[in-house]
Amino acid sequence: MIMVFLGAPGSGKGTQARYLYEKFGFEHISTGNLLRKEIELETGLGLSIRKIMEGGRCVDDDIVFQLIEIILSTRQGEHILFDGFPRNINQAKKFDALLAKYNRVIDTVIDFQIIFSKLMERLTGRYICTRCMSVYHKLFNPTNVEGICDKCGHDKFMVREDDKPRVVKKRLEVYEEQHQSLREYYLDRLKLYDLDADLDVAIVHRNLLVLLQKHMNR
């Protein structure tokens, strides 16, 4: 099964993807995480994209597809969840063509719906375990024991460079420019389901499971 999560920065895609990985073993492919890994490792690619990502702009489609093709060519037949990819209509069209090359299709696309005014607070309060990359929030989703990761027990956390308010503003602008046409592309293909992402984490998760159950029983 191939599933795609669409949604604004901070709408909760990564948080829910993690739950699906833990519950059903969906491989979670976040293009943001893949790109950040390149930066961390200081690869040639990483050095060329650092400024773009820190500015909140989109990385070139060709670079993103280099990474996606590696994933598809090495994970044939596995359940994969793409989080934050495709991000624009060009990527969506190109992704369909690439999937066809590997005899695969997108099964379902979930669009995380939330009002924009909530997102700044979500992103500027986010912190991430540096060992297992579990995502938390100072107010909405803190660790059970302060300073200790619930999942792996590690005690070091980081905040993302692009979660600074000025960069968040740019990311939201970029998202707004691209989202409607992407949404229409999947609506036309009857693949798109809306999910209310403006609820408590556990309720969003429950509703997502109900939605997936309905989809699987179609």
Residues that bind ligand AP5 (CB under 6 A): 7, 9-15, 30-32, 35, 52-53, 56-59, 64, 84-85, 87, 91, 122, 125-126, 135-137, 140-141, 162, 171, 199-201, 204
- In the block, which residue shows the tokens 């280099």? 66
CB of 214 to ligand AP5, least distance (A): 20
Is residue 55 classed as helix, strand or coil in its secondary structure? coil
Cβ closest to ligand AP5, residue 176 vs residue 200: 200
- Closest alpha carbon to 154 in 174, 172, 130, 176: 130
What sign has the CA pseudo-torsion 176, 166, 63, 8?
negative
Catalytic residue chosen out of the listed positions 36, 87, 104, 122: 87
Axis crossing angle, helix 165-188 with helix 89-101, rounded to the nearest 10: 60
218 is annotated as an active-site residue: no
Phi/psi of residue 102, nearest 5 degrees:
-105, 20
Cβ closest to ligand AP5, residue 194 vs residue 216: 194
87 is annotated as an active-site residue: yes
Cβ closest to ligand AP5, residue 91 vs residue 108: 91
Q: Which residue is nearest to ligand AP5 (CB)?
A: 32
User: Residue 212 gets which letter from DSSP?
Assistant: H
Query: How far is residue 119's CA from residue 115's CA, in Å, rounded to a whole number?
Result: 8
CB of 93 to ligand AP5, least distance (A): 13
13 is annotated as an active-site residue: yes
171 is annotated as an active-site residue: yes
CB of 218 to ligand AP5, least distance (A): 26
CA dist list (Å): 22 to 18, 134, 151: 6, 12, 11
160 is annotated as an active-site residue: yes
Tell me which residues are annotated as active site.
13, 87, 126, 160, 171
